[in-house]
Amino acid sequence: MELSAEAFEVELPWASGSVHSHEVPEHPCPACDTLLSHATAGEQRPEPGDFTICFTCAAPLKFTEDLQVVVLAGEDFAALPPGVQDDLNHVRSSILRFQARREDGRAAP
């Protein structure tokens, strides 16, 4: 499934340009057990230490050395620049709104 920042109705300067779905080692989300196999990013593949957000439960996550994910620790989040924290929170709330509309049957599956 191809996703884009537009799908979340957000504008993110770092997500402008082409958005790609990158294959990552298949593993469950540590927060909701959804099987994760792809990460949406720019041209660059995700690298260990990068953060991401689960599209199912909106949990903030961080890539490990083997490109699996762990829940982003509070201190890791606090260490991010405030603008990045705002972007993460903005995307998380957009995902939650998208999923709520989807559950209401008002968005395409």
Q: Which of 56, 68, 85, 89 binds Zn ion (CB under 5 A)?
A: 56
To the nearest whole angstrom, how small is the minimum distance from the Cβ of residue 16 to Zn ion? 26
To the nearest whole angstrom, how small is the minimum distance from the Cβ of residue 57 to Zn ion? 3
Token reading at 101: 């509309």
Q: Which of 53, 54, 69, 95 binds Zn ion (CB under 5 A)?
A: 54
Does residue 72 interact with Zn ion by CB under 5 A? Answer: no
Q: Which of residues 7-36 bind Zn ion (CB under 5 A)?
A: 29, 31-32, 34
* DSSP assignment letter at 24: E
Of 19, 21, 22, the C-alpha closest to 6 is 19
**Rounded Cα–Cα distance for residues 97 and 103 (Å):** 10
Of 37, 39, 58, 55, the C-alpha closest to 47 is 39
Q: Which residues bind Zn ion (CB under 5 A)?
A: 29, 31-32, 34, 54, 56-57, 59
